[in-house]
Amino acid sequence: MRFTLLIYGEEGEWSSLSEDERAQVYAEHEALGRWLAERGWDRGGEELHASDRARTVRRDAGGSFVSDGPFAETKEQLGGFYMIECGSIDEAVEAAERIPARIVEVRQIVEAEERPG
């Protein structure tokens, strides 16, 4: 089973960290990457730029509309993700618990064979 581990946080908190504190968070992510690789679960992942560099595309019958920023006005923004492949959602949650972030959403990916038609 494949999962994404979506990392949410307040962008202001990240920018308020010292250089040493940021280095510590990056070190924790590197350790997690090694842990995932040792288990054969790692399928990729990336840090994302701040939401002020994002664009949202909305489509309807009249065409599409592009706006600045993320889709929803929320306190937390999507900051990055890991993609993993493991045996169960419990294993995915085990990996998510190791991410140095306050909020991590675990979502299973729909596989091609699960799609109709």
Domains of the chain: 2-114 (3.30.70.1060)
Residue pair 32/38 in contact (Cβ under 8 Å)? The answer is no
Residues facing residue 78 across a β-bridge: 8
Residue pair 106/3 in contact (Cβ under 8 Å)? The answer is yes
Between CA 77 and CA 47 the distance in angstroms is 12
The confidence score (pLDDT) of residue 11 equals 86
Residue 75: CB partners within 8 Å, gap ≥ 6?
A: 10
Between CA 21 and CA 44 the distance in angstroms is 24
53-67 pLDDT, tens digit each = 888 888 888 888 888
Helices (H) and strands (E) in the chain, counts: 3, 6
35-58 pLDDT, tens digit each = 999 999 999 999 998 888 888 888
